[in-house]
């Protein structure tokens, strides 16, 4: 189902077909509110999976060149939607405040979307990003299978490598379910 908010397209995907029309509309309304955090809001995708002990809701927001993702599980579908929506909204507030600080430090002008919504006096302070360690590594071309082997040998949850087949820099990572995931840059 596709619902258009004033700025953002909200896509509710449900392979099992067990989300009612009212719940789809609820999700579209709740998730459409996230558009206020963006200059060029594009779309929000919600994927629902019914599990033995409840509902798993995965939300991915695509806007302003960013991809923001959240996931929640609850015995009640609307509660899961509320939890993940709140989680994403908090994450977006922190991101927006970080962007404000960055622009102010550089002495630039705030974009309209950031200037509209100045931080509240009681707003949570956003920590400055501090890199504590830097590592350099050799980026040699390899297959996904070789990258998985290297990742396992190092005991890391992810591995950056140059894919021999695509010649692109990619990231292989271990998912919560024990399987692998692959992050690939868009062409």
Tens of pLDDT, residue by residue over 130-145, are: 888 888 888 889 999 9
Question: 90 with 8, same domain?
Answer: yes
Residue 32 lies in a domain: yes
Written as six digits, the tokens of 22 are 């009212």
Write b or e for each residue in 129-138: b if 16 or more Cβ atoms lie within 10 A of its Cβ, otherwise e. Answer: eeeeeeeeee
Residue 95 lies in a domain: yes
Number of domains into which the chain is organized: 2
- The CATH number that applies at residue 45 is 3.30.160.100
pTM above 0.85, yes or no: no
- The CATH number that applies at residue 153 is 3.30.505.50
Phi, psi of 76 (to 5 degrees): -110, 130
Residue 127 lies in a domain: no
Query: pLDDT tens string for the chain (187 positions)?
Result: 444 444 578 787 776 667 888 988 888 888 888 877 777 767 888 888 888 888 989 988 887 777 888 999 999 999 999 999 999 988 888 877 877 777 777 766 655 555 555 544 444 555 677 888 888 888 889 999 999 998 888 888 999 999 999 999 999 999 888 899 999 998 7
Residue 121 lies in a domain: no
pLDDT at position 46 is 87
Give the SS3 label for residue 82.
helix
Give the SS3 label for residue 153.
helix
CB atoms within 10 A of CB 40: 11
**Domain range enclosing 169:** 141-183
Question: 100 with 167, same domain?
Answer: no
Beta strands of the chain (E only): which ranges?
2-4, 9-13, 41-51, 54-63, 66-74, 141-142, 158-163, 169-174, 180-183
């Amino acid at each position: 189902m596709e619902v258009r908010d004033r700025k953002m397209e909200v896509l509710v995907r449900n392979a099992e077909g067990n989300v009612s029309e009212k719940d789809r509309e609820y999700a579209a309304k709740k998730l459409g509110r996230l558009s206020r955090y963006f200059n060029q809001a594009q779309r929000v995708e919600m994927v629902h999976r019914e599990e033995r002990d409840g509902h798993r809701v995965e939300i991915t927001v695509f806007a302003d060149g960013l991809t923001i993702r959240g996931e929640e599980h609850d015995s009640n579908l609307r509660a899961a939607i509320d939890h993940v929506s709140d989680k994403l909204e908090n994450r977006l507030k922190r991101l927006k405040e970080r962007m404000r600080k960055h622009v102010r430090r550089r002495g630039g002008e705030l974009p309209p979307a950031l200037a509209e919504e100045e931080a509240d006096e009681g707003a949570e302070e956003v920590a400055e990003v501090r890199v504590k360690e830097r590592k350099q590594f050799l980026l040699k071309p390899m297959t996904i299978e070789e990258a998985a082997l290297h990742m396992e040998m190092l005991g890391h949850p992810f591995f950056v490598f140059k894919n021999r087949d695509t010649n692109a820099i990619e990231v292989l990572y271990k998912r919560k379910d024990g399987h692998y995931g692959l992050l690939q840059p868009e062409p």
